[in-house]
Structure 1
Amino acid sequence: MKKLQLLCFALAATASSLNAQVKKADTKVFWSESFKKAQLPDGWTNVDVSKKDIQWIVTNQPYPGSYQYQQQAPPIASKSRGYYLQFQPGYIIDEDQPSWVKKKEYPDAWIQTPAINCKDRSSVILHFQQTFRYNADHARADAGLSVGVSTDGKTWTDFDVKNNIAPATDMFTPINEELNISKVAANQQTVYIRFYWKGYYSWYWMIDDIELSQAYGTDLSINRITSNTENGNTFGKQDKLSVLIKNNGTQTVKNDFKVKCLLDNGLNLSVTVPAKKQPLKPGEEYNVVFPPADLSQRSAHSVKFSLDYPGDELAANNTLSLKITAKESAVQNVTAFELNKNEANIAASQCKFKVIFYQDDIFRIWMAPDGEFTNPAGNDIVESFAIKNPTLTSTDKGTYYQIKSKSCVVRVYKQPLRFAMYDESDTHPIWEESKPLTYGAKTVQTMSRHADEYFYGGGMQNGYFSHRGTNVLIEKGNGWDNGGRPNPAPFYMSTAGYGAFRNTFDVGAYSFKDTLQFSHNENRFDCFYFYGPSLKQILNGYTETTGRPFLMPRWALSMGDANCYNRGAKGDDSKNYKGTGTTGTTPDVIKLVADKYVENNMPRGWILPNDGYGCGYTKLDSTIAELHKRGFYTGLWTENGIDKIAKEVGEYGSRVCKLDVAWVGPGYKFALDACKSAYNGIESNSNERGFVWSVMGWAGTQKYSTVWTGDQSGNWEYIRFHIPTIIGAGLSAQNAATGDVDGIFGGGADTYTRDLQWKCFTPVFMAMSGWAKKDKQPYIYGEPYTTINRKYLQLKMQLTPYMYTYCRESYDTGVPTTRAMVLEYPTDPVAQGKATQYQFMNGESLLVAPVYKNEAKRDSIYLPKGTWYDYWSGKSMEGSTWLNGYEAPLDKLPLFVKAGAIIPMYPVMNYDGEKKTDSLTVAIYPSGKSSFNLYEDDGLTRDYKTDGFAKTLIQADKDKDLAVTINAAKGTFKGQLTERVYLLQIHSSAAPAQVLVNGKKFKVYRDLAKFNKAKTGYYFNAAEQQGIIHIKTDYLSVKDDQKIIVKN
C-alpha cells in the first residue's frame, strides 16, 4: 500500500540525499554559506547551553572517534567539500561520559547565524547538507537535532531534522535537507537560523552548504531511502525497496508521474505515483514502494532512484544514488583467476580480489566487496607501493591456485575462496584461513592458531607485549594506565614467521585465542603480509612499507625536562591550571632549572619550558640561547597547532615539538598528519633533524615521532606495567617509546630513582614537573638519590655510541633498541611468552631487569643460553637459568652483559658535545668471534640521509690469544675525527703475557697511577670486576686498521 502523509506546509521538513557531484546553481538562492574561509564566519555565534565550553567548529577533518565509537567518521561529502561545520560532543566528553550521565549533565549547544534579511521574500526555503550519528543511551526526554528559526534571536520555531534515522546509524551519503520556513521568515528583515544539539551525549553532527532561497512553483524531490540503511542490512529474495519523495514547490502536483529504481546497473523498477487521484499538496511526502526484487544474491547493491515530472523547475534533487550493504556476508567460490606479472586478479561472485607481490617476501591481499577497489588511507601510512621485481609463478593445483615467489607461497582455495600462506616449498603452513572472509559493517579474517604460536605488535598497549590467548583492541582509548592504548597500530607478527599490517585508519579488534580473528570496522579488506621467517625480518618488511623509525639527533638520547615557566608574576591563570608549576616567565627556567642541573653536575639534554595548558612563552630567543650555553636544547609543547613553527625553529632555534592530546587526541589520520607536520616543520626550517613527541599514534607514527604512554602517577605499579609497554611498542617498530620518569602525578624518591635507572637503557626519556607535590628533576630529592641518579645518567651518556648505533640500526631495519628477549632469542620458548615481560635487551649485549617492587632484590631474572657477566661485579654465570633473590639495593640496577659483547663508550660528560670524543673506550667480554659495527655521524644534521656517516667495525677473536681489530672507518661526515685514542677494557681473569698494538710491544704497568699518566701501555687489575686488562693506545688514524693482540 502506498501511504500518503499530509504534513503542515509551514513546518514540514524534507530530507533529500544527494550524490556527491556538482549540481547546477540554484538561481533563486539569496543567501548562502559554505565555510570556504576555513573559520567561523563573521557574526556567527556559539551558544554553549551546557556551560562546559563546548563549541561548534569549522574544520575539514573527520570526526575523531570517541567513547563507544572509536573510529573516525569521514568529513561530510558535501557539494562544496572542504571546510564545514562540525559539532563533536562525543569527542569532547569521550570517556568521561559515565560521569556526565551520573551528574545528569548534557553537552547542549547551538550555532547561530548572523541576522539575515528576508524582506521582500514571499517564501523562504532553507537548504543544507548534513550527516550525523547520535547515541540514544541515557538521552534526555527532549533530546533532538533541530533547526531553529527566529526573528529576534530569543523566540524560536524549531524543526526536528533527525528524519527518523535510528541511533548509531552510519551515514556516508549526506542528506540534503530542505525546510520551508516561510511562515516564520517570509518578508522579515531580520531572521536568525540556529542548529541545536540537545539531550544526547554523543557522537557528532556535520553541516555544510547552507542556503536560503525562494520556493519554486513546481519542485519535486527524492528525499531518502526508507526501506534500508546504507549498511547493516539483511537481504532476501522478495525485498521491496522504497523511497520518500516530497513536493517542495508552492503548487499542488495533480498529474501522475513515474519514479524509477535502477538496481546494480541492470534491473529497472518503476512505480507510477497516482497524483491525479491523490494530488500532492505543497509540503506533502509520499512513500514510493517498488515491486519485490531478489537482493539475496549480492552482499552490496548500487541503487539509483530518479523521478521525471514535466515542468519540474529544480532537477538537482530528482535523483538519489547510494550503496546498500549487508550486515555480514561471506566470500563465495572463486569464479575467475588470472596472474599478470606481480598481480593476481581473483573474482568470487561480485567480490574482487587482488594479490599483489611488491617483492618476494611482501604481498598484499586487497578485497573490493562490490568490485570497486578503494584505498581510503592513500599514501598516509604506506610509504611506497613500488614493485621490486618479485618472481612469480601460478599453478592450478586442483583445490587451490598456487602463487609462488622465491620466498613463499600463497594458496588461493577455490570452494569457497580462502587464502593461506606457506613456505617456499608449499609444504609448511605459515597461516591459513579456517573460513572465508566475512564483510559488511566490519571485515573479519578467521584463522587457526598453531600449537606453539606467539603473537606481538598492536602498537603501544600499556602493560602488554605478548598476546597469545588475549584480545587486543586496535583503537585509542581506555585511559593511560594499565590496559590503555595510547599508540595502537594495526599490525601484528607471529612466531610462525609472518607479520600482517591492515592498511586502514578504521579501528579493529584482534583475538589471539584458539581461533584467531582479525577485524576492522570497514567494508573492505586490505592487508600487507611480510614473510620472515625471523621477527627481525618481519619488522624490516613492515617498516619498509610503513616507514622506518626516525633517527633522532644524538643529543636527544640525553634526559629531557618539562614544565611551564610562564605563569605570570602573580600566577594570574592559576584558576585554569591545577598543577604546581612555578609562577614567573619563560626565562626563569634558566635559574630555576638549568642552573640547578649545572650546580648538581647532572647530565642533561633538552627542556620544554612551556609544557602546560595556556602556558605560552616570553623572550624565547634569548632563553634558547642561554639554555644552549648550559648544555640544553629547547623545545616547545603545543596544545593546538604549529602555526608559528617557522619562526620558532628558523629564528629562535627551537628543536623539539611535543604534541599534547588536546591537539592530537583525535588520533588516527589526524594525529599522524600532525606528527608529520611538526617533524617537517623542524626539518623545513633548519638543517637539523625533527624530534617530535606525541600520543595517539598509529602505524607510520614511528617515522616521525617518539610515542609516550600518557599522563600517569608515579608508583611501583607504574614501573611494573611500563616495562612490557615499552617492550611491546618496540615490537611494532616504535623505537622511540617511553613514559615520563616517575609519572607526572604522585611519585617519590625511591620510585623516581628506580624508574630512571632502567629508562637510562632506552633511547629517549623525559621528566615532567608541575603536576605533583615534588618536581621531577633528578636532583630534587637530595642524597643519596642525587648521586645515584647522576651515576646512571652519566652511564647513559657514556653508552651513547653503543645506543646510537642501535638507533641507526632501527632506522635501517625497523628493529628497536629496546628489545624483547624473543627478538634476540626467538627459539627459546621461555622468551616467547610473558615469563620475561619484566626484562629486556638493550641492543644485542645488555640484559636489563628493572626492579619494580619496593624491595632491595629482584626475582625471576631469566638468563638465556650462553655465558653472562654481572655488569657490576664481573661475575660470570652460565645461562638457561633463573636468578632469584638477586641483591639489588637502591643504587643497583640488575644489569648483565652477554659474553662476546663489544661495547663502545664515550668519555663521561654531562651533555652531548661537552667533551671531544677523541678517546673511545671499548669494553670487551671475549667469547669466540664477535663484532660491533660502530656507527657515527655529526649527530645533528640530516646529512646521514645522504651517506654523511661512518661505520667502524670492531672485531674480537678469542682463541688461545685474543685478537682485537679496529677496522678503518668506512664513510665520512662533517666533523669526523681523523685520529683517536683507544682505551680497551678487556674482561679477563688472567693477566696477559704480552700486548701488541700494530705489532709493537706495549709496556706493562703494575701501578694504576703510573698507567694513567703514561701515554700508552697496559695495566691488569685483578680486583676490578674479577679482572680487567686496560690498554691505552696513542692517537691512531681512524682511516687505518688497528690490530691489538693480547697474548696469554
Structure 2
Amino acid sequence: MQDLVYLRAMRLYAIRNRNEEGNASSMDNPHILLPIANRSYLRIDPLSHGTFRIRTSHTADIKEPPLVRYGIIHPTLSTTYTMEQNDTSIMIHTDHSSLRVDKDSGKLALFNRRGDLLTCHAENVQNPASIPGFEVHFLLSGDEMMYGLGDETREHIQHRGHAADMKVDAVSRHAPVPFLMSSKGWGLLVNTTWRHRIDIAHTFADRLFISGQDGDLDYFLFVGDDYAELLDCYTEVAGRPLMMPIWAYGLTFACHSYTNAREMIDDALNFRRDGIPCDVIGLERGWMEEDNDGKIPFPFRWDQNRFRVSSSSNYTAPFIDTLHNHGFKMSLWLNCSYDVSLEDEHSFYAQIRQFVEVGVSSFKMVVPESSFQHPTGIWGNQMSDTEIRNLFPLLLSKQMHQGFQKQTGRRSMNYIAVGYAGLQQYAATWAGNSQGESTLISVLNHGLTGHTNTTSDMDVSSPEGIHFGFLQAWSLVNSSGFWCHPSILKNDLLLTFRHYAKLRYSLIPYIYSAAHTAARTGMPIVRAMPLIFPEDPLSNQLLNQYMFGDSFLVAAFTKQVYLPNGEWIDYWTGEKHAGLKWLTPAVPFPAGGPLYVRAGVIIPTWTAGECIEEKQKEIIGLHFYPHGESNYTLLEDDGTTYSYLQQEIAETKIRCLANSTSLRAEIGLRTGRYDGMPSRRIYDVQFHLEARPFKVTVNGFSLTETSDIDKASFSNRDYWFFDRTAWTARLFVEEGAINPTSISIEIIYDLTDRRFMNQPETGNRTIAATAIVKLHHPLVKKIVDLMEAQDGHHWSLQDAAERLHVNASHLGRVFKKEMGVSFPQYILKKRMEHAKKLLQGGNSVSETTYTLGFKDISHFIRVFRKYYGVTPGEIKN
C-alpha cells in the first residue's frame, strides 16, 4: 500500500512539473509535497517572509509532532511565495528569502533576499526506511559562529565546536532548546521532543550535524538580517515571552525550607524595617505535610504544625492576609511529580486552585529527576518516559499558566529550572540551586533563545553577587538551605544590598518597558554582547558582561570590562570613556561591580517604594544622557491582566537631539489607554551634562534657576536646579490632564563652566576627571607629584612656588596652560573631591572640616555649597 501511495505521488508531481517547468508562478497552496530519494517525502511550508518549515517522512501522511499537537509551537502562519523549476530543482521565493530544493535528493540551499547563500545540505536529508530516526547535515563557512541552545551548557555562549545532548536533565542540562542562530544570518529550530544530538562542527569541522534515533526529521529554517530579526522569527513560531505581572520584576525572597508562619512574617517585616524593597515572600518545601518517610503526599496539604489554616468550608490562611496587608505576594514551592499529560479535571492545576483561592500569587515548580519516570513507564497520553521527558516541563508550565489565567484573569508568576523550546510563553526560570559565573552564562544562553524572564539565586555574601543578582530580568534571594536574609548581613553588605534594591526598584519603568519589548519581539532584557555588537570580534568571548536593556552595560564577577564602540559613562562616577578598549575601573562603595551607561540614552525611573504598587504612578523620572540623536519609547499597561494583548498599552515617545552647545528634548503625548491609567503625567527630568546650563526653556518659556532644590519640584515647575555633585540639571514638567500637550525642553550650555575643562578628548578616548593625565611641563608634573605625596591640597600658589624655588607668577602661568584651570581652582577641586569622599565614607562635617584644614565649620559649609550646590549634610545623608 505504501508503494502505491509513493508511486501515485510521483505521477502527480511529474504531471505538475511538466505543466509548470521553467515558469515562475505565485502559489496559494499552503505547502509543497515532493517525493524524493529513499522512497521518502519532503514537505515544505513557507510560513512567513523569512521562515520555512521542512519535514521528511517515509509516509505521505506526515503526522504532527507533540510540540505542535499540544500547541507549544505555532506553525500556522502562511505567506505568499513564488516558485520556479527546471529539470533538477525547484526555487521557492518570498520577499525576504529563497529556498532551492533538489528534486531527486531533497537537498536544500537557503538564500537571503540579496541572493547570498546562507547554508545548504551536505548529505542526504533522510535515513533509508530501514534505519529509524533522522539525520541531517548543514555546511558551515570557516568563520561562522553559532548561538542558542538555551541552558544546555554553562561554559560558553558561542557553540561552534560543541556537541549538544538535547535531553532535559534536572542536574546538568536544565533547559536545552534545539534552536541555533548563525552569524551568517540564518537560524534553525528542530521540531521534536525526542532526545537528539546537535553537533556544531565538533565531529566535522565544516558541518552542523543533527541526528536522533526516534521520530521524523522536522525543522524550521529562519532568515534574518541580524540576531534580533532571527529571534523575532523564532519566537513568532515558538511563542513570545510572557509578560509577568509588574510586581514580579521586583525582588522575590524564598524563606528557609522549614520556616513557620511566625518566622515567615518576621522575614517579611524585616524588609520593611530595614527599608529594603521586596514584593514576594516564598515558602519552600516545609510548608507541606510530609508522610513518615519524609515524602510529600499528593494532593498537597499544609503542615498544620507550621502553618495553621482553617479546616472549615470557608478555607482561610490568616498569615497570607498579613503578608498582603504589608504589600507582599506569596509564593509556594511545589514538588511536581505528577502525570501532567492528564488534562481537565485530572490536570495538575486542578489540585492547585485551592491555594490560589486563599491568596497565593506565585509558584516555584520543582521537577526532580524522578518526575520523568512514570511508575508504569507509560504516561496518560501513551508516551514513554523517553518521549515525554523534554515535553514534561512544557506541559506542566502551560497547565499552571493557563489554569491561573482562567481562574483569576491575571498574569501568573510561576518559575521553574527545567524547560525546552517554547517555555518562554508560560513560565519564568531560575538557574537552579547554583550561583556565580556559570549562572550568568545560563542567563545569557537563555536570552539567546528568546527566553527573557530568567534569573539565578543571588549570592548575598559578596558585593559582586548582589550586583549581578539585582541587574537581571527579575531578582531572587533563595534562603531555602541557608540563612540569606539581608537583615543578618554585615553592615557593609547590608548597605550594598539596600542600595541595589532601591536602584532596581527605581528602574522598574525601564525594566518593564524592556519586558514589553521582549514580549513583542523576543529580544531579552539581559542581552549577550553578540546580540547588540555582532560586528565586534571580541563579543562572543565576553562571558562576564552584558547589556541590561538598551542602556546599561553590566560587568559581573570580573574586575575588567570591555567597552564596545561608542561613548560610555561610568554610572557610579560619571566618568566618560570612548569605546573599543578594556578598563579596570575602581568601583566605589557601596557598588559591587562595573556599570556603564550608553551615551545618548533616555532612562525612565520612578521613586523606589517598599513594593511595586499596582496603582500607576503620576510622576515618572526621565534621565537623559545627551549625545547626538536618541529616541526612546516608554511602554505602560495595567501591570496585572492580559489586556496588553488587546493593545491596551500607553506609549510615550521621547527624543533628544544634542550638540556641543545645546540640546533639545521632546516628550510626546501618551498614546493609547489602559485601565487605571493616570489622568495626568508629571515628569521629573534630569539631564546628565558636561557643561552647566546657561538657559533652560520649556515650550519656549524661560525657567528660573534656583539653588534651593525644594523650589524645583512637581508643585513648582517654573524653576530648574543644577546639582554640581552629579552635574545634572533638574526640572519638572507636566503633560496635563485638561489640555495635554507635548513638551519641548531646550538647554543652552555655559561653555565657560564645563565638567572636564582641563581634560579634553585625546585619541580614541575621553579622559575623565579622575583619570591619569600625562603632564609634559616638568614644573607642573613635579608640583602635582609633590602635592599627591605630601597631601598638599591645601597649599597656596606661593606655598607651591617656594617648594620648587620658582617665581609664583611663572608657576601660575605654566600651571594654567598645562592643566586648563588656575592653581587655586585646581586646589579647590581637589579639596572638594576629598571632602565628598570623607563625608560619604562616614566622617562627620566637623571631622571633614578639621581634616581639610578649614578655619571653621561655617566657612567649610559655605565653600562646599557654593561648589556643589548642596550642603555637606545633604551629601552625607
Q: 1:494 aligns with which of 179, 182, 186?
A: 182
Distance 1:381 1:840, change over 3 A: farther
Partners in 2 of 1:647 and 1:518 — Cα distance? 45
Are 1:792 and 2:500 an aligned pair?
yes
Partners in 2 of 1:533 and 1:1032 — Cα distance? 41
Q: 1:436 aligns with which of 124, 132, 137?
A: 124
TM-fit CA distance, 1:1013:
9.4
Q: Name the SS of the counterpart of 1:412 in structure 2.
A: strand
TM-fit CA distance, 1:505:
0.6
Structure with more relative contact order (C-alpha pairs < 8 Å, separation 6 or more): 2
Equivalent residue runs for 1:580-599 within 5 Å:
581-582=258-259, 585-586=260-261, 588-591=263-266, 593-599=267-273
TM-fit CA distance, 1:342:
3.8
Unmatched runs of 5 consecutive residues or more in structure 2: 8-12, 18-26, 290-300, 310-315, 337-347, 373-388, 750-877
Contact 1:609–1:635 (CA under 8 A) maintained in structure 2: yes
Distance 1:999 1:379, change over 3 A: farther
Work out the number of aligned pairs and report it: 674
TM-fit CA distance, 1:431:
0.9
Distance 1:1018 1:518, change over 3 A: farther
Q: Name the SS of the counterpart of 2:317 in structure 1.
A: helix
Greater shift, 468-477 or 862-871, is seen at: 468-477
Q: Name the SS of the counterpart of 1:655 in structure 2.
A: strand
Q: Deviations over 1:761-810 (max 9, x none)?
A: 212121222313xx122222131111110110111000000010010111
Distance 1:889 1:720, change over 3 A: farther
Partner of 2:355: 648
Contact 2:469–2:476 (CA under 8 A) maintained in structure 1: no
Partners in 1 of 2:624 and 2:240 — Cα distance? 30
Equivalent residue runs for 1:37-186 within 5 Å:
none
Q: Name the SS of the counterpart of 2:149 in structure 1.
A: strand
Partner of 2:70: 380
Q: 2:552 aligns with which of 842, 846, 861?
A: 846
Partner of 1:946: 646
Partner of 2:163: 471
Partners in 2 of 1:888 and 1:336 — Cα distance? 76
Distance 1:381 1:828, change over 3 A: farther
Could you tell me the percent identity over the aligned residues?
A: 24
Partner of 1:563: 255
Partners in 2 of 1:944 and 1:1023 — Cα distance? 41
Are 1:451 and 2:142 an aligned pair?
yes
Partner of 2:327: 631
Q: Deviations over 1:70-98 (max 9, x none)?
A: xxxxxxxxxxxxxxxxxxxxxxxxxxxxx
Partner of 2:234: 542
Contact 1:336–1:346 (CA under 8 A) maintained in structure 2: no
Partner of 2:579: 879
Q: 2:413 aligns with which of 691, 703, 712?
A: 691
Equivalent residue runs for 1:120-519 within 5 Å:
341-349=29-37, 350-377=39-66, 378-380=68-70, 382-396=72-86, 398-414=87-103, 416-426=105-115, 428-439=116-127, 440-463=131-154, 464-477=156-169, 480=171, 484-513=172-201, 514=205, 515-519=207-211
Partners in 2 of 1:346 and 1:691 — Cα distance? 45
Greater shift, 731-740 or 377-386, is seen at: 377-386
Distance 1:354 1:265, change over 3 A: closer
Partner of 1:709: 431
Contact 1:540–1:814 (CA under 8 A) maintained in structure 2: yes
Partner of 2:367: 661
Greater shift, 654-663 or 928-937, is seen at: 654-663
Partners in 1 of 2:78 and 2:104 — Cα distance? 32
TM-fit CA distance, 1:419:
0.9
Partner of 2:393: 671
Amino acid corresponding to residue 684 of structure 2 in structure 1: L
Partner of 1:980: 681
Contact 2:148–2:445 (CA under 8 A) maintained in structure 1: yes
Are 1:862 and 2:562 an aligned pair?
yes
Amino acid corresponding to residue 452 of structure 1 in structure 2: D
Distance 1:344 1:980, change over 3 A: same
Contact 2:56–2:126 (CA under 8 A) maintained in structure 1: no
Amino acid corresponding to residue 678 of structure 2 in structure 1: L
Contact 1:393–1:405 (CA under 8 A) maintained in structure 2: no
Partner of 2:792: none
Q: Name the SS of the counterpart of 1:931 in structure 2.
A: strand
Q: Name the SS of the counterpart of 1:366 in structure 2.
A: strand
Amino acid corresponding to residue 948 of structure 1 in structure 2: E
Amino acid corresponding to residue 602 of structure 1 in structure 2: I
Contact 1:381–1:546 (CA under 8 A) maintained in structure 2: no
Q: Deviations over 1:169-201 (max 9, x none)?
A: xxxxxxxxxxxxxxxxxxxxxxxxxxxxxxxxx
Contact 2:714–2:732 (CA under 8 A) maintained in structure 1: no
Partners in 2 of 1:730 and 1:1039 — Cα distance? 39
Partners in 2 of 1:335 and 1:380 — Cα distance? 36
Distance 1:725 1:399, change over 3 A: same
Distance 1:828 1:525, change over 3 A: same
Distance 1:820 1:827, change over 3 A: same
Partner of 1:208: none
Amino acid corresponding to residue 637 of structure 2 in structure 1: D
Partners in 2 of 1:645 and 1:389 — Cα distance? 41
Partners in 2 of 1:890 and 1:473 — Cα distance? 42
Equivalent residue runs for 1:875-914 within 5 Å:
875-884=575-584, 886-887=586-587, 891-913=591-613
Amino acid corresponding to residue 435 of structure 1 in structure 2: E
Distance 1:353 1:408, change over 3 A: same
Larger Rg: 1
Contact 1:337–1:345 (CA under 8 A) maintained in structure 2: no
TM-fit CA distance, 1:726:
0.4
TM-fit CA distance, 1:1028:
1.4
Unmatched runs of 5 consecutive residues or more in structure 1: 1-262, 268-296, 299-333, 565-578, 713-717, 743-747, 853-857
Amino acid corresponding to residue 555 of structure 2 in structure 1: A
Partner of 1:38: none
TM-fit CA distance, 1:1018:
4.8
Q: Deviations over 1:790-846 (max 9, x none)?
A: 110111000000010010111111111100111111222221x2x211100011110
Two-structure CA RMSD over aligned residues (Å): 2.6
Contact 1:586–1:609 (CA under 8 A) maintained in structure 2: no
Are 1:622 and 2:318 an aligned pair?
yes
Partner of 2:717: 1016
Partner of 2:280: 606
Partners in 2 of 1:1012 and 1:403 — Cα distance? 62
Q: 1:757 aligns with which of 430, 448, 467?
A: 467
Partners in 1 of 2:566 and 2:474 — Cα distance? 29
Q: Name the SS of the counterpart of 1:829 in structure 2.
A: coil
Amino acid corresponding to residue 449 of structure 1 in structure 2: L
Distance 1:611 1:557, change over 3 A: farther
TM-fit CA distance, 1:1004:
0.7
Q: What TM-score, normalized by structure 2, do the two folds share? A: 0.73
Partners in 2 of 1:1010 and 1:892 — Cα distance? 34
Q: Name the SS of the counterpart of 1:939 in structure 2.
A: coil
Partner of 2:826: none
Contact 2:713–2:731 (CA under 8 A) maintained in structure 1: no
Q: Deviations over 1:8-38 (max 9, x none)?
A: xxxxxxxxxxxxxxxxxxxxxxxxxxxxxxx
Contact 1:394–1:401 (CA under 8 A) maintained in structure 2: yes
Distance 1:265 1:445, change over 3 A: closer
Are 1:810 and 2:518 an aligned pair?
yes
Partner of 1:1002: 703
TM-fit CA distance, 1:889:
5.6
Contact 2:334–2:365 (CA under 8 A) maintained in structure 1: yes
Q: Deviations over 1:363-400 (max 9, x none)?
A: 1111112434122213335543334332222232x543
Distance 1:930 1:919, change over 3 A: same
TM-fit CA distance, 1:892:
3.4
Partners in 2 of 1:890 and 1:692 — Cα distance? 32
